[in-house]
Amino acid sequence: MASRPAPEAASLDSTADADLSAFREEVRSFLRERLPADLAYRPRMMMSLREDIVRWQRILAERGWGAPSWARDHGGAGWTTQQCLIFEEECVAAGTPTQDIVGQKLLGPVINQFGSAEQRAEHIAPILNGDRIWCQGFSEPEAGSDLASIRTRAERDGNVYIVNGHKALVSHAHQADWIFLLVRTHGDGHRHDGISLLLADLRSPGITVRPVPSLAGFHHLNEVILDNVRVPAGNRIGEENAGWAIARVLLDGEHAATADLPALRAYIWQLKELGGSEKVGGRLLIEQHAFAVRLARLEAELEAVAMMVARVAALEQAQDHGRAARALGSMLKLRSTDLQQRLTEFLVEALGDYGAVRGAFDNAGEDPFAPLPYFAKNIASEMFFRRGATIYGGSSEIQRVIIAKTLFNL
């Protein structure tokens, strides 16, 4: 089995700043002490398996680190952008599970900003403690890029909404407890009006979650059917018919999440690991010019993406949702997802004959990859999964449209 990423795999230079160096040390010693060995380097595709997320989240919450990027007033760690990035780097190096990205990075900040006191009281603690895992129910069969054409209807009946519709391609709904839904609460007027944001318990009668097969070969996608689902009106975030503006803020937060910087860093580290262990024609890959140059270029691009992540995260912490911030988020989404695809393709190529084999995601059964590093067996799945990265969170074409509109007034 290959050695784990060396501490220097974490590349944000914190050595020049004594406080950040001390912070990095604090995180490392916490991870050494508190990350259970059987929880490290477990399979993950963007998000870890539910049981891993929950176990890890409880450990983080005990330490007061349940939500690294949230302000202290909201129950977060209150860290700066740089501290959050250091934390993520060290978590990658230590092989921790992910947190619930949807609850942490998409919904939580929106509840903190737009939710009522009752909603914050009901939903924030379970996100922090890992007691409630979330999924995002925005897209529909006829409303993906053009999200404002959603047809899922929520009709008011006293204190509840009766919701009917069909949400397509909902990541991790099968391992989530709650879903946030973009629904139509009014049929007339401009189509961006008349949309509301509702929170629904996935155990509510009338909700069916069905798996959607994907190239990646493991279950991560679902469709969610809503058939006369009764959702309390108190589960609406913000005013009725004013959900579109909130959804835009939430979608801004999705750009930094889909950048998945920890995964990008892990891919580079894995390429270095293969470069230093695999041979072609009797020579190590890393000693071969074409491999070394390609790796160096990709690593330089990774550092550029890391700088964009830091800028976007700083704008988010400042709750800046202006035009420049929106364009930067779209640029980050474009560059980072393109890089995810090129890095995973490179990894598959670097694995040679093994690159074509797809391992089992659950780590069970006989391991045909035994002579290779532990990460090898999930690489092909990872590459196929990342084909969707330029689609989910808004396709690349749509990001280009946003950049053109916001920066050039086209």
Ligand X SMILES: Cc1cc2nc3c(=O)[nH]c(=O)nc-3n(C[C@H](O)[C@H](O)[C@H](O)COP(=O)(O)OP(=O)(O)OC[C@H]3O[C@@H](n4cnc5c(N)ncnc54)[C@H](O)[C@@H]3O)c2cc1C
| Contact residues for ligand X, defined by CB under 6 A | 135-139, 144-145, 169-171, 221, 388, 391-392, 394-395, 397-398, 401
The distance of closest approach from Cβ of residue 134 to ligand X in the complex, given in angstroms and rounded to an integer, is: 10
Please say which residue, 224 or 295, places its beta carbon nearer to ligand X. Answer: 224
| CB-nearest residue to ligand X | 144
Sort strands 178-184 and 134-137 into parallel, antiparallel or unpaired: parallel
Please say which residue, 75 or 137, places its beta carbon nearer to ligand X. Answer: 137
CA distance 267 to 256: 18
Please state, in angstroms and as integers, the Cα–Cα distance from residue 138 to each residue in 219, 274, 316, following that order: 19, 39, 21
CA angle 297–301–307, rounded 5-degree value: 150
Please say which residue, 215 or 370, places its beta carbon nearer to ligand X. Answer: 215
> Token match 């990859």: residue?
369
Which residue from 97, 122, 96 is spatially nearest to 107, judged by alpha carbons?
Answer: 122
Contacts 24+ apart (CB under 8 A), 69-76: 69/104, 69/105, 69/313, 69/316, 69/317, 70/108, 70/109, 70/112, 71/112, 74/108, 74/112, 74/120, 74/124, 75/124, 75/125, 75/128
The distance of closest approach from Cβ of residue 388 to ligand X in the complex, given in angstroms and rounded to an integer, is: 3
The distance of closest approach from Cβ of residue 45 to ligand X in the complex, given in angstroms and rounded to an integer, is: 9
The distance of closest approach from Cβ of residue 401 to ligand X in the complex, given in angstroms and rounded to an integer, is: 5
Whether residue 369 contacts residue 357, with contact meaning beta carbons closer than 8 Å, is answered with yes
> Token match 């835009």: residue?
248
The distance of closest approach from Cβ of residue 317 to ligand X in the complex, given in angstroms and rounded to an integer, is: 24
Please say which residue, 183 or 221, places its beta carbon nearer to ligand X. Answer: 221
Please say which residue, 136 or 378, places its beta carbon nearer to ligand X. Answer: 136
Q: Which two tokens stand for residue 377?
A: 């067996």
The conformation of residue 238, written as its DSSP 8-state character, comes to S
Please say which residue, 95 or 388, places its beta carbon nearer to ligand X. Answer: 388
293: Cβ contacts below 8 Å, ≥ 6 apart: none
The distance of closest approach from Cβ of residue 92 to ligand X in the complex, given in angstroms and rounded to an integer, is: 21
Please say which residue, 170 or 308, places its beta carbon nearer to ligand X. Answer: 170
The distance of closest approach from Cβ of residue 49 to ligand X in the complex, given in angstroms and rounded to an integer, is: 16
